[in-house]
Amino acid sequence: MRREGQIRVVIVDDSPTVRSLVRRLLQRDPACQVVGEAGDGARGVELVTTLHSDVIVMDLDMPVLDGHAAIQQIAQRHPTPVLVLTAHPPADQAASAFEATRCGAVEVLAKPSEPEGWRQL
């Protein structure tokens, strides 16, 4: 059920642990409502088009359909802002971030590697 003024979020990441962390972080904010989760890009695209979310938090490296392709499909089918959380190594991070924004992501952030980084996120 949609509560007035809440931001509806879909989380797309192949790691159940990361999905759980992101869900718990978002649920701390009463303005956010996690309405769906997917473990691959293809399922993420399906959820976004059926759930009509306001924002997507998405990984790039996933099975079935990677984040870049999923972002492109979302932009074509149901344009929705995508925030990318990626664990790409620093050497690949700039190129990957550029490609993600070219595909339609609005922001690219590195996944924290330490618990304190998740708290700050």
CATH number, position 29: 3.40.50.2300
In a domain, 2, yes or no: no
Q: Which residue has the tokens 């997917």?
A: 38
In a domain, 72, yes or no: yes
With CA atoms as reference, report the closest residue to 110 among 102, 96, 82, 69. Answer: 96
Q: What is the pTM of this model?
A: 0.87
In a domain, 121, yes or no: no
Number of domains in the chain: 1
Which residue type, as a one-letter code, is found at position 16?
A: P
Over its C-alpha atoms, the chain yields an Rg (Å, rounded) of 13
Instruction: List the domain range (segments joined by +) for residue 14.
Output: 7-115
Structure tokens at 23: 């869900």
41's CB contacts (< 8 A; 6+ apart) are: 12, 58, 62, 64, 65, 66, 67, 69, 70
Tens-of-pLDDT digits for all 121 residues of the chain? 556 779 999 999 999 999 999 999 999 999 999 999 999 999 999 999 899 899 999 998 899 999 899 999 999 999 999 999 887 645 566 777 777 777 788 888 888 777 777 777 6
